[in-house]
Amino acid sequence: MSFYDFKMPLINGEEKALSDYQGRVVLVVNTATKCGLAGQFEGLEALHQTYQEQGLSVLGFPSNQFKNQEPGSNEDVAKACQLNFGVTFPLFAKIDVNGDAEAPLYTYLKAEKKGLLGRDIKWNFTKFLIGKDGTVLKRFAPQVAPEKMKRDIEKALAA
């Protein structure tokens, strides 16, 4: 099993094969527009703008599993991300990141890199850095600001 084996619906409903990102460094983030950490959207967009030409893809996966901080429809989420945060990186359809209905992608990511307090995602804006070969390189806690990940991203891009 590899990161590239998954297909996920984009926020517009279109199916996206993650194998399309083969050879790129990928940053997977579970997001929520009404979260206190939502300001990280701007940092994620800055990473996207700075490194996309060098091979980075930032992928947002909205989730409403933490204190109802992403209650709207996929369309509502897309509008809020664009209007409030200027997001241009790909957004996927809302998913569960924990529990019985968790997306298989997140089952895989959590098995590859556990967090400080175990396997489950504890909050919005948990980030997974995926190498060019599909290997899960690192898991970042929600409070780690996007700009604090630059060194790890640059190392992965150089590999």
Q: Which of 32, 35, 44, 80 is catalytic?
A: 35
- Considering just the CA atoms, what is the radius of gyration of the chain in Å? 14
Give how many domains the chain has, as a whole number. 1
User: What are the DSSP calls for 45-88, one per residue?
Assistant: HHHHHHHGGGTEEEEEEE--TTTTS--S-HHHHHHHHHHHH---
**Domain span at 8:** 3-158
CATH number at residue 21: 3.40.30.10
Based on the residue annotation, tell me whether 81 is a catalytic residue of this protein.
Answer: no
> What's the rounded mean pLDDT across residues 50-55?
98
Mean pLDDT (the chain, rounded): 96
> What's the rounded mean pLDDT across residues 130-134?
97
Strand order in the sheet with 25-31: 56-62, 25-31, 127-130, 136-140
Q: What is the pTM of this model?
A: 0.96
pLDDT digits (tens, 9 = 90+) for 76-103: 999 999 999 999 999 999 999 999 999 9
Residues forming a β-bridge with 118: 115
> What's the rounded mean pLDDT across residues 129-140?
97
